[in-house]
Amino acid sequence: MEAQQQEASQRLPKGPAPSPKDLATRERRRTLELTRTRLMNDLSRASAPAHRQMLESSIAELDRQLAELE
């Protein structure tokens, strides 16, 4: 039991806790990345040119938003 507690305390991040803004940015990035992954999967299965174009446009917009977060 004691070894487990010590191991858990070693996994805790060192330094100051992230600010609410940092947490929100991380969550936004994670949401954008998950959405991009889903759209990429959809694109790999899409056959209609108009659908493919819409997906590619959406992916480009997500890439733009991700770049803004950096």
Q: Which of 66, 58, 59 shows the shortest CA–CA distance to 30? A: 66
Q: Report the domain count for the chain.
A: 1
Judge whether 46 lies within some domain: yes
Q: How far is CA 64 from its chain centroid?
A: 13
Q: Judge whether residue 9 has pLDDT over 70.
A: no
Judge whether 5 lies within some domain: no
Judge whether 1 lies within some domain: no
Which burial class, exposed, middle or buried, applies to 6 when counting CB atoms under 10 A from its CB (0-12, 13-18, 19+)? Answer: exposed
| Predicted structure pTM score | 0.74
pLDDT at 70: 87
Range of the domain at 45: 20-69
Judge whether 6 lies within some domain: no
Q: Judge whether residue 53 has pLDDT over 80.
A: yes
Q: What is the mean pLDDT of residues 1-19?
A: 72
pLDDT one-digit tens code per residue, 18-48: 899 999 999 999 999 999 999 999 999 999 9
Judge whether 56 lies within some domain: yes
